[in-house]
Amino acid sequence: MHELGVVFYVIRDVKAVAEENKVQRVESVTLEIGEVSGVVHHLLEDCWKWAVKKEPIMDEARLLIEEIPAVTHCEACGEDYETVKYAKICPRCGSDRTYLIQGNEFNIKEIGVT
């Protein structure tokens, strides 16, 4: 389960930002997670609930997740399409000359503080 490791890295980064900005308490953290990032949301949330209790500055911080849809671009016809629905083969022209343009991101978007 790599979600626990991901949570540890997020907490580390959030704590560093909080310390730099003299924040007393982190209320929430908003993550942008790509649809094909490989992160399982419910596992991430479970790990979050366990891990934040160990950090006084974050012990009740909520985790908010915004999913970024996966989109693939076809070099042959120039169209973009839903990655999860059609995978690597372009549904418009049948080409496999495609590449992912969004959907594998994992970003800390926002840190809510008091």
Can you read off the two tokens belonging to residue 73? Answer: 């671009």
CB of 52 within 8 A of CB of 11?
A: yes
pLDDT tens digits for range 7-19: 999 999 999 999 9
In angstroms, how far is CA 114 from the centroid of its own chain?
23
Both tokens of 57, joined, read 């500055």
Q: What is the mean pLDDT of the chain?
A: 97
Give the pLDDT of residue 114.
85
Percent of the chain at pLDDT above 90?
Answer: 97
CATH level 3 topology of 3-11+24-113: hypothetical protein PF0899 fold (3.30.2320)
DSSP state of 114: -
The pLDDT score that the predictor gives to residue 32 is: 98
pLDDT the model gives residue 6: 96
Give yes or no for residue 93 having a pLDDT over 60: yes
Q: For the segment 31-52, what is each residue's pLDDT rounded down to a tens digit?
A: 999 999 999 999 999 999 999 9
Q: What is the pLDDT averaged over residues 72-100?
A: 98
Kindly tell me if the per-residue pLDDT of 1 is higher than 80.
Answer: no
